[in-house]
Amino acid sequence: MKKLSLTSLIAVLFFITLFAQNQNYKCYPNCWWSGMKDPKLQLMIHGDGIANAKGGFTISYPGIKIEKVNKVENPNYIFLDLNISATAKPGLVKIRVNRESNPFDITLELKARRIGKGRNYAQGVNSSDFIYLIMPDRFSNGDESNDRVPGMRDQSLDRDTVFKRHGGDLLGVQNHLDYLYKLGVTTIWLNPVLENDMPHRTEHGYAFTDHYKIDPRLGGEKAYQDLIDAAHAKGMKIIQDAVYNHVGLYHFTVQDLPMKDWLHQWPKYTNTTYKDQTVFDPYASTRERKEMTDGWFTREMPDLNQNNPYVANFLIQNAIWSVENFGIDGWRIDTYPYNDLPFMNRCNKALVDEYPQLTLFGETWVHGVPNQSYFAQNNYDIPFKSNLQATCDFQALWGITDAMTRDFGWTDGVNNLYTTLAQDFVYKDPTRNVIFLDNHDMARFYTVVGENMDKYQSALSWLLTCRGVPQMYYGDELATTGTTSPNDGHVRLDFPGGWKNDPVNKFTIEGRTQKDQEIYQHLATLATFRRTSSALTTGKFMHFLPVNGVYVYFRYNKDQTIMVVMNTSKEEKTISMGKYAERTEGFTQYKDVLSKAMGKLADFKLGSYKTVVYELIK
């Protein structure tokens, strides 16, 4: 081997040092696209003393210029305002850091947009879709090599506990796309997939530590892209879970704050009150309103100050980056009422400006239609006007829960469901609301109804026939039980068969109990029918006043009429068809969507807690 001269050795060591130095600085976002509607990009560069480059920062790339260099309190950050013209071509953009002794480059990749590549993305969801919510760590382990990742804070892996990681990942989801498709699912919503490098409780994903990194324990960026591409190839869609309100305590911007007001700071720790009323209450205390919106969600989830323009830009750009980079189809927005609402309007608008078909729906865990509708597009004449397209419809959930668990009364039982839906006039478009029976934070609905099969199947029939976008939680297609007492881990148990040594595999009919299969078949039959039912996916909705626990509603258009009859009482009831002549006139027969039986349209008896779904025939 030829020996290096002293001069050559010094040069090599210099370039190794320079490369290592370059690697210590990170650029957020790490790539962008030419041809975006908004030509502006605020680049955050993070690294030791980056703001101390006395010679400043320069870019010599056609079509890109630095409009402003923003220094902040912490010299480890610099924010560069870039303008990327429509003429800028894809390539590697070198940002020269002009340090006096050793200038170096930081690279930003400029890519071509997905538009024109023939891929479907940012499609949005609508009332023709059926969403399936998955917690990846608890669904299926497709790649055991990423169960533990060296260097990450949480090294737990114990399926015998409900709080530690279990090893499920994105490949595990991809491996079961056929199962989901056969179930009738059109859209997958994943609990957050971004890096959660926290010391413990990282299975749920809601404490981000890096917005530009997919958690390697789930398989990282490649596994996420592979899953999305595979889902799109099957005609399915992907919803990403957005968390704008807070981050994890070990997020790099918390461990090394760019500025003091990056977070909402308090003289002593202050938790949010979780009282959404103070946001819109005309009589609310200023202090209590601030505690609701600016208080921390938990001690380990610091509250981001979205009034800080740098924070706002960081979050909005990351949202756009996620859609363009991975090709997701919509957003579910976590803890919507706790965010700064003008910021959310700005963020929503920025996304829809770039992706007009994109769907945005927010978690609005509140009580009361006025409370919930305040946070979405509504018909109120009030000072604040939300531009959020839709909500997770907790009010409909409380309604169906009462219908299945409380006796019929003037305002109780199924009357609560009727009254809730009767208030749809407050929404700009109630058909965009996402309806559901439970989720990762709530008791399994099968448990809520006391494992009563008739009640549970009636609730599932309602879910797939009511107005709105139906969404179910993984495992609810089976006789899955679980409560949040004493903790939420018991509603986040593993899907049986998702791990190679599982004694039972409920992804297959052979592994299911009789009750499992009854529920699965009920749901799959209805979901499959729904796919091609114009009445259920895009039809109008008409319901009739509940009488003695019997609730009847119709989904209809000029081509199809579906009649749903729910008996929520403890006794068998006689259904008199004459009461519903307004919608049944001209029809003489029915086809039971679930049993496929046909018969003459006439008065009939319906058992306690039973529901029938009829397609009417002339």
Residue pair 246/339 in contact by the 8 Å Cβ criterion: no
Tokens at 421, concatenated: 């839906």
CA–CA separation, 434 and 427 (whole Å): 13
Burial of 399 (0-12, 13-18, 19+ CB in 10 A): buried
Q: Which DSSP symbol is given to 139?
A: T
Residue 100 a catalytic site member: no
For 6, the enclosing helix (H) or strand (E) is helix 6-23
Place of tokens 């052979």: 510
CB atoms near residue 55 (< 10 Å): 11
Catalytic residue among 363, 402, 494, 615: 363
Is the dihedral angle over the CA atoms 300, 306, 312, 315 positive or is it negative?
Answer: positive
Residue 363 a catalytic site member: yes
One-letter-per-residue 3-state SS of 418-437 = HHHHHHHHHECCHHHCEEEC
Peptide bond preceding 103 in cis form (omega within 30 of 0): no
Catalytic residue among 334, 476, 477, 615: 334
Of the candidates 473, 375, 552, 471, the one whose C-alpha atom is nearest the C-alpha of residue 127 is 471
Of the candidates 261, 256, 186, the one whose C-alpha atom is nearest the C-alpha of residue 471 is 186
Spatial neighbors of 350 by CB under 8 A, at least 6 apart, are 38, 316, 319, 320
Is the dihedral angle over the CA atoms 224, 226, 229, 233 positive or is it negative?
Answer: negative
Residues in the chain, how many?
618
CB atoms near residue 349 (< 10 Å): 12
CA dist list (Å): 411 to 262, 423, 467: 46, 14, 21
CA–CA separation, 30 and 43 (whole Å): 9
Single-letter amino acid, residue 610: K
Residue pair 258/247 in contact by the 8 Å Cβ criterion: no
Under DSSP, is residue 386 helix (H, G, I), strand (E, B) or coil? coil
Q: What single string gives the DSSP state of each residue in 21-76?
A: HHHT-EEESSEEETT-SS-EEEEEEESTTGGG-TT-EEE-BTTEEEEEEEE-SSTT
CA–CA separation, 598 and 610 (whole Å): 18
Under DSSP, is residue 95 helix (H, G, I), strand (E, B) or coil? strand
Is the dihedral angle over the CA atoms 454, 460, 461, 466 positive or is it negative?
Answer: positive
Tokens at 607, concatenated: 């058992």
Catalytically active residues are 334, 363
